Amino acid sequence: MKGAYHRLTLKLSGERLAGEGGFGINPAAIADVAKEVNAVHEMGVQVAIVIGGGNIIRGVAASAAGMDRASADYMGMIATIMNALALQDSLEKTGLDTRVLSALEIKEVAEPYVRRRAVRHLEKGRIVIFAGGIGTPYVTTDTAAALRSAEIGSEVLLKGTGVTGVYDDDPRENAAAVRYDKVGYDEVLHKNLRFMDQAAIALCRENHLPIVVFDMNVPGNIRRVAAGESIGTLVSD
Complete DSSP assignment for 60-106: HHHHHTTS-HHHHHHHHHHHHHHHHHHHHHHHHHTT--EEEEESS--
Quick one: what percent of the chain has pLDDT higher than 90?
A: 81
Tens of pLDDT, residues 78-95: 999 999 999 999 999 999
pLDDT of residue 59: 67
pLDDT of residue 188: 95
Candidates 112, 104, 60, 50; CA nearest to 78 is 104
Quick one: what percent of the chain has pLDDT higher than 70?
A: 99
pLDDT of residue 64: 72
Sorted by where each starts, the structural domains of the chain and their CATH numbers stand as 7-236 (3.40.1160.10)
Tens of pLDDT, residues 176-215: 999 999 999 999 999 999 899 999 999 999 999 999 999 9
pLDDT (mean) for 47-56: 93
CA distance 63 to 76: 11
**Cα–Cα–Cα angle for 234, 16, 86, nearest 5°?**
125
CB 201 within 8 A of CB 188: yes
Q: Does position 49 have pLDDT exceeding 90, yes or no?
A: yes
What's the pLDDT band for 121 if we cut at 50, 70, 90? very high
CB 76 within 8 A of CB 35: no
When comparing pLDDT for 131 and 216, which is higher? 131
Q: Does position 141 have pLDDT exceeding 70, yes or no?
A: yes
Q: Does position 112 have pLDDT exceeding 90, yes or no?
A: yes
pLDDT of residue 66: 84
